[in-house]
Chains A and B, each alone.
Chain A
Amino acid sequence: MTSEPSVVEVILESDLKNLEVAEEIVRRVAGIAGLGEESEHQIEMAVHESMINAIWHGNKNDASKSVWLRFDVYKDRLEIRVRDQGNGFNVAEIPDPCSTENLLKVSGRGIFLIRTFMDEFQVRYLPGSGTEVTMVKLIDPAHQAKQGGTEREHESHNSTS
């Protein structure tokens, strides 16, 4: 693999039935990246939750809208972008689902799981284009096949809404 990434890019109809399509793409991309089962599952969940946010919250379950999904596979990292046609959200305003007062709430765990499973997470509002979530999973070549990915090294949370 050169410094140029392998790119997989799809545009999906904004419909929950496409969650499993996105998950299948993740499995194939994880194969390209040489990631193990655990990392593959973590990325699958992160993409699944991002897709739900895009379809449900961003595009308001409007099937005439689209979700754009792009995977850039580098030697040392997998970068994933999910873009909807919504108006964005402020990550800082999302309550901690693990705090005592929120523990028994039915919703509000999606972004928390993405942050837990991915090494970097950013949300950007792109005026006129929608909201784009960028997630990165670092790949440690020494542990790639053996341990299925890398330890969590750093995290970046940023939002513009």
Chain B
Amino acid sequence: MSMKATIRQVDSVIVIDISGRITLGEGCSQLRELIRDQLSKGKKQVLLNLADVTYIDSSGIGELVSAYTAVSNQGGQLKLLNLTKKVHDLLQITKLYTVFDIHDDEAKAIASFQK
């Protein structure tokens, strides 16, 4: 199953609901394009909902880092929502758990963005 994403806006925050695989190739390039597209529209508050991500590999983790850096460099914020156990464990193993702002409640995540 390849990656699928739906985009919605809640207050000033762009929420991207991602499902499927974030892996080398299509999944990673799709995520890169989505972030690039949002930044080009001036949308700099991004919440990635990973609840339905079934698989992520080292390239997918790298793409999350790349998205985080791209948004931060534009003065924005990128946060993660609803990690599955597999993604949670991978972020802990790679010590990225401390880099990302991670939430498990969407309303609280939205509220945590700077107004």
Query: Once the chains are docked, how many angstroms separate the CA of A48 from the CA of B54?
Result: 14
Contacting B at CB under 8 A, from A18-52, are 19, 41, 45, 48-49, 52
For the complex formed, measure the closest distance between the CB of A99 and the CB atoms of chain B, giving whole angstroms: 9
Contacting A at CB under 8 A, from B88-115, are 90, 93-96, 99
Query: Once the chains are docked, how many angstroms separate the CA of A96 from the CA of B81?
Result: 27
Contacting A at CB under 8 A, from B39-67, are 57-59, 61-63, 65-66
CB <8 Å contact, B24 and A56: yes
Name the segment of A78-86, A106-114, A133-141 touching the other chain.
Answer: A106-114
CB <8 Å contact, A16 and B24: yes
User: Closest residue to A45 on the B side, CB-wise?
Assistant: B57
Given A19-B23, A98-B94, A113-B93: A105 and B65 interface contact (C-beta under 8 Å): yes
B99: chain A residues at CB < 8 Å are 103-104
User: Closest residue to B24 on the A side, CB-wise?
Assistant: A52
Given A109-B94, A113-B93: A48 and B25 interface contact (C-beta under 8 Å): no
CB <8 Å contact, B57 and A52: yes
For the complex formed, measure the closest distance between the CB of A114 and the CB atoms of chain B, giving whole angstroms: 9
CB <8 Å contact, B62 and A107: yes
Q: Mark B56-80, 1 if CB is under 8 A from A, else 0.
A: 0111011101101100000000000
Q: Say whether A116 faces chain B, with CB atoms less than 8 Å apart.
A: yes
CB <8 Å contact, A16 and B94: no
Q: Say whether A97 faces chain B, with CB atoms less than 8 Å apart.
A: yes
A41: chain B residues at CB < 8 Å are 86
Given A16-B24, A41-B86: A52 and B59 interface contact (C-beta under 8 Å): yes
CB <8 Å contact, B63 and A106: yes
CB <8 Å contact, B57 and A104: no
CB <8 Å contact, B86 and A109: no
Query: Once the chains are docked, how many angstroms separate the CA of A105 from the CA of B96?
Result: 11
CB <8 Å contact, A106 and B66: yes
What is B's interface to A at a CB cutoff of 8 Å?
23-25, 57-59, 61-63, 65-66, 68-69, 86, 90, 93-96, 99
18 contacts between A and B (CB under 8 A): A19-B24, A41-B86, A49-B57, A49-B58, A52-B24, A52-B59, A103-B95, A104-B65, A104-B69, A105-B62, A105-B65, A106-B62, A107-B58, A107-B59, A109-B62, A110-B58, A113-B94, A116-B93
